[in-house]
């Protein structure tokens, strides 16, 4: 049987709060604090056979959704996009003028760099890893010869 604290954590209202806090980037420790329970209690609640799956679902699905949304927005910003800006004017509650303006957001070089460095690090990393094995072996050989001369 689930403890009272686990049942409280898994209440419908708290599951909504957990999902929102996760979306906002809070850690599980911060979420536990916001719920008024210890981090250990929160961890035990996640493992509860009756309610743990609901808590984990609120955490995991939300993290995945948010990560995908951010990834999509970063990509959109990197390649640029167009959107329509709508302005409406009302007089005495009646729409009198509606203006639609097409806006263009140009590609963002910083977003492109960030995207490429993270998606293709071997091609776009600032610092390239160089295999110095041959040079190190030659250095060991020279040092060995020097030591032999002493």
What digits encode the pLDDT tens for the residues 11-57?
Answer: 999 999 999 998 888 889 999 999 999 999 999 999 989 888 999 98
CA 14 from chain centre, in angstroms, equals 22
**What whole-number distance in Å separates Cα of residue 55 and Cα of residue 28?**
11
What distances in angstroms separate CA 42 from CA 32, 45, 94, one per listed residue?
A: 6, 5, 53
Burial class (CB in 10 A: 0-12, 13-18, 19+), 6: buried
**42-46, 65-69, 81-85: least confident range:** 65-69
Cross-strand partners of 88? 98
Predicted pLDDT of residue 64: 75
Residue 113 corresponds to which tokens in the numbers above? 């760099």
pLDDT confidence of residue 61: 67
Q: Is residue 140 pLDDT above 70, yes or no?
A: yes
Q: Considering the entire predicted model, what is its pTM?
A: 0.46
User: Is the pLDDT confidence value at 62 over 90?
Assistant: no
The pLDDT value recorded for residue 129 is 65
What are the extents of the domains in the chain? 4-71
* Tokens read off for 20: 């929102």
> At residue 87, does pLDDT exceed 90?
yes
Cβ(82)–Cβ(107) under 8 Å? no
């Amino acid at each position: 049987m689930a403890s009272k604290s686990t049942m409280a954590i898994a209440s419908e209202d708290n599951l909504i709060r957990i999902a929102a806090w996760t979306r906002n980037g809070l850690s599980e420790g911060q979420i536990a604090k916001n719920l008024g329970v210890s981090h250990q209690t929160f961890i035990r609640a996640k493992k509860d056979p009756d309610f743990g799956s609901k808590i984990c679902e609120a955490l995991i699905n939300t993290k995945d959704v948010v990560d995908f949304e951010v990834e999509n927005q970063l990509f959109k910003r990197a390649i640029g996009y167009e959107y329509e800006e709508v302005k409406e004017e009302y007089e005495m509650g009646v729409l009198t003028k509606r203006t639609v303006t097409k806006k263009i957001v140009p590609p963002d070089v910083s977003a492109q760099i960030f995207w490429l460095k993270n998606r293709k690090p071997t091609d776009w990393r600032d610092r390239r890893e160089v295999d110095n094995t041959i040079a190190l072996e030659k250095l060991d050989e020279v040092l060995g010869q020097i030591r032999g001369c002493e």
